[in-house]
Amino acid sequence: MSSPQVYLVGAGPGDPELLTLKAVKYLQCADIVFYDYLVDERVLEYASKKAELVSLGIPYTGHKKKQTEINQLIIDAARSGKIVVRLKGGDPHLFGRLNEETEALRQAGIVYETAAGVTSASGAAQVAGFSLTDRVNASAVAFITGHLSYKHDPALPVLDYGRFAVFPGTLVFYMGVSTAGIWSRALLHGGMPEDTPVIFVQNATLPSERVVYSVLGRAAETVETQKLESPCIVIVQPQVE
Ligand code: SAH
């Protein structure tokens, strides 16, 4: 097998000290780095001085590149002989559209490697100062997307948030801050108590990080009053009877 031309690398949640040694190694041999809006600038300082740094834009601003465009940029760069690093926030294997990119690379016959990163849920737990699992209260954790963009695509299933009301463990919502009204209502409807603790961790591991405590019955209101914004991890902690 020839050596990889593209490395799809996790940048962790923000704090550069949470980068993996592998991420640093690949960044230092990169000719070009394509990075997501979630990647903190301080992480980019670990890239080789010769590396070209290319932002892939910010979602919801009209400046974000489409997935097909991103795939093509990576493929073109690899075909021109460059060592490409595709840097993704957190862990690329979680809510990172990794399969779309690896599939395109496979079809283009480009050799790639992926490198895990610290996911923002772990970063958020570090900031909040508690474990997502607990020997008594939480033997399971669900990583859930709060982003319902695919609800408009009839080919894809719609996530029924109400079913997580009986999940026996911690719920962690990614991309869930703007949809707090939707998932919290569904969980309440599914029977989860109003006073279930909900913890919002915004900008986890960044200098601007903040933790906001609420309860399920007031989750959407808390987003408004506390002016919570993305990126934010939301942790819902069902209480054991
Ligand atoms: N692959 C990433 C997730 C990308 S989806 C990972 O493993 O973390 C984007 C979502 O990740 C954001 O909407 C937010 O919910 C979460 N996120 C990413 N970085 C974050 C951070 N520093 N603080 C809080 N949430 C973050």
**What confidence tens digit (pLDDT) does each residue in 134-168 have?**
998 899 999 999 987 555 566 666 788 999 999 99
Q: How far is the CA of 241 from the centre of ligand 1 (A)?
A: 31
Q: What token pair was written down for 95?
A: 């809510």
Of 125, 124, 74, which is closest to residue 232 (Cα–Cα)?
Answer: 124
The reported pLDDT for the residue numbered 222 is: 98
The token duo for 163 is 């079913």
**All structural domains of the chain:** 6-118 (3.40.1010.10), 121-236 (3.30.950.10)
Top mutation candidate among 38, 86, 183, 200 for ligand 1, by most atoms within 8 Å of CB: 38
* pTM to 2 decimal places: 0.94
Atom of ligand 1 nearest to the CA of 209: 23
Residues with CB under 6 A from ligand 1: 13-14, 38, 88-91, 94-96, 119-120, 123-124, 174-175, 201, 203-206, 230-233
| Separation of CA 233 and ligand 1 centre (Å) | 7
Task: Give the Å distances, CA to CA, from 38 to 11, 18, 61, 89, 100.
Answer: 9, 14, 14, 5, 18
Contact (CB, 8 A) for 185 and 155: no
Between the CA of 72 and the centroid of ligand 1 the distance, in Å, is 24
Instruction: Summarize pLDDT for 198-229 with one digit per residue, the tens.
Output: 999 999 999 999 999 999 999 999 999 999 99
User: Which residue out of 174, 200, 206 has the highest number of ligand 1 atoms within 8 Å of its CB and is therefore the one to mutate?
Assistant: 174
Place of tokens 């990889």: 4
CA of 230, closest atom in ligand 1: 13
pLDDT for 154 equals 66
DSSP, residue by residue, 124-164: HHHHHTS-S-BTTTBS-EEEEE---GGGG-TTSPPP-GGGG
Ligand 1 geometric centre to CA of 161 (Å): 19
pLDDT in tens, 66-111: 889 999 999 999 999 999 999 999 999 999 999 999 999 999 999 9
d(CA 219, CA 182): 10
Ligand 1 center–CA 201 separation, angstroms: 10
For a pLDDT cut of 70, what percent of the chain falls above it?
93
Give the pLDDT score at 237: 95
Query: 169 with 134: CB under 8 angstroms?
Result: no
**C-alpha dihedral, 159 to 161 to 99 to 11, nearest 10°:** 160
Q: Sign of the CA dihedral 121, 95, 15, 27?
A: positive
